[in-house]
Amino acid sequence: KDSGWMEALFSAGIGNYIDAFSIHVYTHDKAPEDEMADECYERVEKIMDNYGFGGEIWLTETGYSTATSSNNSTEAEQASYAIRTKVLWDNYLKENGRNGEFFWYNLRCGGTDAADREDNYGVIDYSYQPKPAFNSIKLYNELLEDRAFDSLESSGSYHLFIKNHAIYFNKTKII
């Protein structure tokens, strides 16, 4: 939530020396559409615009832990949130005329403690068994192939569904 460090970097001229800027966004047990992520993207965009930075922005860490302790997500939510987060990120890039990258944290769970948040971010469990999020990401990528994100139009709550090999977000066909 604190963007003072980023403001300080850009005011010192960092934009003249980099091609891309990286951010980490975690909303923990909140849905990807929660205002927290949007507010973060808006703060970052405002700072980059204020300093004329036209480079890429990379979301190098985002994810949802399936730990059994409070303020985490279920495996079903993680599977759904993974795709919704990616679609919303692609929409952010398109709306702001930016290029960027997206990195999910984490491929494999870091341990076996079911209650530990850090042990449960993976889309593959500690014993290398795929969790539902692994399969949803795999299916999404297979369906996307090399198609580019086009647009997102929505109001109210968001729903992603697949019908006849096309992906719909709410009722808007995105591929």
* Per-residue pLDDT tens digits for 138-150: 887 877 776 666 6
pLDDT of residue 166: 55
25-84 pLDDT per residue, tens: 888 888 888 877 888 889 999 999 999 999 999 999 999 999 999 999 999 999 989 988
Cα dihedral 112, 114, 116, 122 sign: positive
Structure letter (DSSP) for residue 117: S
Distance CA 104, CA 82 (A): 8
Task: Please tell me which residue, 9 or 141, carries the higher pLDDT value.
Answer: 9
Q: Which of 126, 18, 148 is nearest to 6 (CA)?
A: 18
Least confident of 14-28, 77-91, 132-146: 132-146
pTM value is 0.82
